[in-house]
């Protein structure tokens, strides 16, 4: 009891001393309450047959019905497999790309050239997704730019977005093109913080530029890479559905249909709010597990972690 008293007294004193600092925290807390914790209450509808007119609490409980419907769905396995595969491919190919770009840009001596390269590479990030997908569709048409290049080399032109086996490569490659520059910014910033004296010392010891990169630059970048990796794991199953929806068609469903696009068709086009939120909840739980796993592994292996 005595302990708590003192704790309370200490808190009160601290509060009185720093009351303006505490005041500054209020908007932040409010922000999280309103926009992150408040909506969690809405997750209840995953267990109900939600009808807006009855309200969240007024709707009838149905237990795990929507989860069972999803797991038992004809398309469940396919959708799950596609989601995981597309995520993994993106992780495998798109995640390292900005790191490589940052390393390359770091080696460039001329400041002007460096800036031009950076600007050009992060430009696609600012183009609207709808436009990007329009460009992709046009380029991959049977008589589009890419096919013309292939035809020039003597191959037959074919509508690439009509080939299920080409969907994932197109998705991942365009993802790299879109994000490489933008995501490299954080790595370039991290590179700036590496002590230049280390390079000097290495040079005196006779290390080549490649050796410098391997032994100084990369270890310096590692903490940033790990943090980015962990954050990425937390979103593994959240494949951006806008892009999928804009690019897919029934021929490519078998490789392109992911959880979010499936939910979009089911939930938003057919008013299955409860069903979608059940699937969303399932998605979040998996993501949470992945995030925690990645964080733990990273903490054990590299001493870098989010918490």
Partner 1 sequence: MKKIAAAAMVITLLGALMAGCSSGDKNSGNAAEGASPEGTAGAAESTTYPLKTDEKLSYWGEINGNLVGVKASHDEIPFFQKWQEKTGVKLDFTAPPSGQVKEAFNVMLASGDLPDMLEYNFIGDFPGGPEKAISDGYIIKLNDLIDKYAPNLKKYLQENPDIDKMVKTDNGSYYVFPFIRGDEYLRVFQGPVIRKDWLDELGLPVPETIDEWTTTLRAFKEKKGAAAPFSVVSKPRFFNESGNGAFIGAFGVNRGFYQEDGAVKFGPAEAGFKDYLKLFHDWYAEGLIDKNIATADTKAVDGNIASGATGATVGNAGGGIGKWQPLVEANDPKAVLVAAPYPVLKKGDKPKFGQMNQAYASEGTVAVTTAAKDPALAVRMLDYGYSEEGHMFFNFGEEGVSYTMEDGYPKFTDLLMNNPDKLAPAQAISLYARSSYNGPFVQDKRYAEQFFALQTQRDAVEIWKNTDAAKYNLPNITPTPEESSEYATIMNDINTLVDEMTIKIILGSEPVDKFDDYVAKMKSLGLDRAIEIETAALQRYNSR
Q: Which residues bind partner 1 (CB under 8 A)?
A: 41, 51-58, 69, 73-75, 137, 141-143, 157-159, 161-164, 249-251, 253-254, 265-266, 268-273
Nearer to partner 1, 34 or 201 (CB): 34
Closest approach, Cβ 218 to partner 1, in A, equals 42
Nearer to partner 1, 187 or 275 (CB): 275
Nearer to partner 1, 51 or 284 (CB): 51
Other Cβ atoms within 10 Å of 304 Cβ, number = 16
3-state secondary structure of 82: helix
What is each CA distance from 105 to 149, 186, 209, 277, in whole angstroms? 29, 13, 14, 43
Of residues 197, 203, 216, 226, the one with CA closest to residue 103: 216
Nearer to partner 1, 51 or 212 (CB): 51
Closest approach, Cβ 69 to partner 1, in A, equals 7
For residue 196, the Cα-to-chain-centroid distance in whole angstroms is 32
Closest approach, Cβ 14 to partner 1, in A, equals 22
Closest approach, Cβ 132 to partner 1, in A, equals 15
H or E element, residue 57: helix 55-58
Helices (H), 62-195: 65-71, 76-89, 96-107, 111-122, 129-140, 145-152, 164-192
Nearer to partner 1, 54 or 203 (CB): 54
What is each CA distance from 205 to 1, 182, 211, 249, in whole angstroms? 63, 35, 11, 58
Closest approach, Cβ 56 to partner 1, in A, equals 6
């Amino acid at each position: 009891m005595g302990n708590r008293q003192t704790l309370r007294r200490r808190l009160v004193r601290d509060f009185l001393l720093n009351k303006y600092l505490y005041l500054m925290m209020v908007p932040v807390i409010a922000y999280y309450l309103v926009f992150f914790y408040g909506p969690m209450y809405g997750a209840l509808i995953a267990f109900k047959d939600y009808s807006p007119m009855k309200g969240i609490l007024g709707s009838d409980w149905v237990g795990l019905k929507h989860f069972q419907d999803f797991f038992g769905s004809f398309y469940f396995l396919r959708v799950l497999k596609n989601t995981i595969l597309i995520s993994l491919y993106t992780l495998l190919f798109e995640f390292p790309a900005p790191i490589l770009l940052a390393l390359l840009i770091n080696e460039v001596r001329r400041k002007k050239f460096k800036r031009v390269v950076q600007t050009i590479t992060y430009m696609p990030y600012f183009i609207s997704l709808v436009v990007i997908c329009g460009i992709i569709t046009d380029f991959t048409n049977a008589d589009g730019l890419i096919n013309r290049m292939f035809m020039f080399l003597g191959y037959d032109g074919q509508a690439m977005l009509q080939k299920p086996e080409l969907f994932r490569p197109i998705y991942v490659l365009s993802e790299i093109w879109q994000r490489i520059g933008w995501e490299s910014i954080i790595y370039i910033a991290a590179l700036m913080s590496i002590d230049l004296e280390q390079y000097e010392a290495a040079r005196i010891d006779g290390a080549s530029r490649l050796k410098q990169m391997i032994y100084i630059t990369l270890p310096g970048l590692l903490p940033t890479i790990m943090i980015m990796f962990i954050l990425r794991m937390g979103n593994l199953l959240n494949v951006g559905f806008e892009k999928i929806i804009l690019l897919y068609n029934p021929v490519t469903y078998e490789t392109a249909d992911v959880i979010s696009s499936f939910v979009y068709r089911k939930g938003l086009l057919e008013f299955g709010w409860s069903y979608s939120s059940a699937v969303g909840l399932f998605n979040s739980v998996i993501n949470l597990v992945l995030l925690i796993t990645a964080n733990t592994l990273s903490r054990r292996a590299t001493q870098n972690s989010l918490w």
